[in-house]
Amino acid sequence: MTITAPVTTTDRRKLAVIRADRLFDGTDVLDDPMVVIDGNTIAAVDRAGQFSTADHAEVVDLAGATLLPGLIDTHVHLCFDAGMDVVGSLAEQDDAAALAAMTRAARNAVAGGVTTVRDLGDRGYLSLRLRDSAEPGLPTILAAGPPITSVGGHCHFLGGEVRGVAGMRAGVREHAERGVDVIKIMASGGHLTPGSRSDQAQFTAEELRTAVTEAHGLGLPVTAHVHGIPATFDAIAAGVDGMEHVTFETADGIIDAPADLVGAIVERGVVLGLTLGIVPDLDFPMPDFIRDNFPRMMANVGVLVASGAAIVLGSDAGIAPVKPHDVLRHSVLHLAEFGRTPAQALHTATVAAADALGLGQRKGRLAPGFDADILAVDGDPTEDLSALHRIRAVYLRGGAVTRPPAVERT
């Protein structure tokens, strides 16, 4: 797996060269690698012995480490603080305070090896402001803005309420005019909003079709939050590009994944954002519904993984103490419990995620021409995924990131 490209530099900067014991490029492993970085971009990848490091190169030797692409979290909420009451905490903050907290959350994600995030629900388009800011040390951010929801529906407090077909069309257009990267729609209720029914659809089939038609006409993908069975069927029929959670809920709890519904997901090529992964051993009570239905929920994840459906990992970071903004490493380990090898799980959080988000030409791989987003960990995560917790260094668009001190969470 030797990949090379002509190394070009400018007169204004030196090359950065990283050596390590091994490299996982997103698919394959290379021993004794050398990665050459020119500015923000990977210029070359090869075995160390194949390169002569000239005077214009600064060499970093990470003996014992593995280099891999920076992880990609396809579902985060930077506006939620991973505390005990994320909704109440956000309500107490004005936009300036919320934006400062979001900045800290984004930097903590980077410190945990997550170099790209897709924010699937903020308040007042704050994630777009963060995306477009010049703040240093931030991951690449794709932003949905406030999720589109029904009046009084799931996460209505974020400001994305619409009513009827005309309201849906106007809501999608407003999001597009604001410059979002993706349309997030709450097709069903959810567990975070009092009074919301996660098993019930929040929009009619016609309203969902309107959202997809309008968004696609504006060049935007659509991903739908779905828990309940009717909303899942309607979202697939409407032509959504992705679905989040997909827990197959009914009024009586979670049921076994219906074969016809799983088949439709696979046939239509809908990308499933599995919101796996929690920080273990934290003193946080699991909500009653999750606790009571957890075994069946996990069995359904196994069915989806085995089905061959297109899968990415979105942690839902920020919604609870067990979901801090650097939780994606735990999501990768969790996915491996469903029959994925370590290399396959890593591929899901890098290559597959980049491709699903439309970033496959510059993210998710360690290869010439790609952004120099690099995670270095001690050990070999292709054999033992727990190595992801032993972070040695993070490079964000070619620059080394200093790991900040641990944040006390309340």
Shared-domain flag, residues 168 and 65: no
Shared-domain flag, residues 312 and 345: yes
Shared-domain flag, residues 327 and 346: yes
In sequence order, the β-bridge partners of residue 76 are 119, 317
Q: Which domain holds residue 189?
A: 71-356
Shared-domain flag, residues 33 and 43: yes
- Would you say residue 3 lies in a domain? no
Torsion-angle region of residue 206: left (phi > 0), alpha (psi -120 to 50) or beta? Answer: alpha
Shared-domain flag, residues 228 and 301: yes
pLDDT lower than 50: segments of the chain: 1-12, 404-410
CATH code where residue 223 lies: 3.20.20.140
Residues 6 or more apart in contact with residue 235 via CB below 8 angstroms? 187, 208, 224, 226, 243, 270
Shared-domain flag, residues 61 and 91: no
Shared-domain flag, residues 223 and 191: yes
Task: Name the residue type at position 248.
Answer: F
- Would you say residue 2 lies in a domain? no
- Would you say residue 4 lies in a domain? no
- Would you say residue 292 lies in a domain? yes
Shared-domain flag, residues 271 and 375: no
Using the 8-state DSSP alphabet, how is residue 232 labeled?
H
Shared-domain flag, residues 391 and 295: no
- Would you say residue 408 lies in a domain? no
Shared-domain flag, residues 50 and 85: no
The position carrying tokens 């060269």 is: 17
**Overall pTM surpassing 0.85 (yes/no):** yes
Into how many domains does the chain fold? 2
Residues 6 or more apart in contact with residue 134 via CB below 8 angstroms? none
- Would you say residue 5 lies in a domain? no
Q: How many residues in the chain? A: 410
CA distance 52 to 284: 53
- Would you say residue 137 lies in a domain? yes
Residues 6 or more apart in contact with residue 20 via CB below 8 angstroms? 33, 61, 62, 63, 64, 65, 66, 67, 376
CA distance 357 to 74: 8
Residues 6 or more apart in contact with residue 352 via CB below 8 angstroms? 310, 311, 312, 364
- Would you say residue 176 lies in a domain? yes
CA distance 27 to 19: 19
CA distance 50 to 220: 43
DSSP state letters, 255-315 = -PPPHHHHHHHHHHTPEEEE-----TT---PPPHHHHHHHHHHHHHHHHHHHHT--EEE--
Shared-domain flag, residues 117 and 107: yes
Closest by CA position to 221, among listed 273, 153, 159, 165: 273
Shared-domain flag, residues 65 and 110: no
| Predicted pLDDT of residue 410 | 29
| Predicted pLDDT of residue 8 | 40
Domain final residue pick, 335, 356, 377:
356
List of E strands, 121-270: 140-143, 149-150, 161-162, 183-186, 222-228, 242-250, 253-254
Q: Which two tokens stand for residue 381?
A: 């995560």
| Predicted pLDDT of residue 287 | 85
Q: What is the pLDDT of residues 161-207, one digit of tens each?
A: 999 999 999 999 999 999 999 999 999 999 999 999 999 999 999 99
CATH code where residue 33 lies: 2.30.40.10
Parallel, antiparallel or unpaired: strands 311-313 and 253-254: unpaired
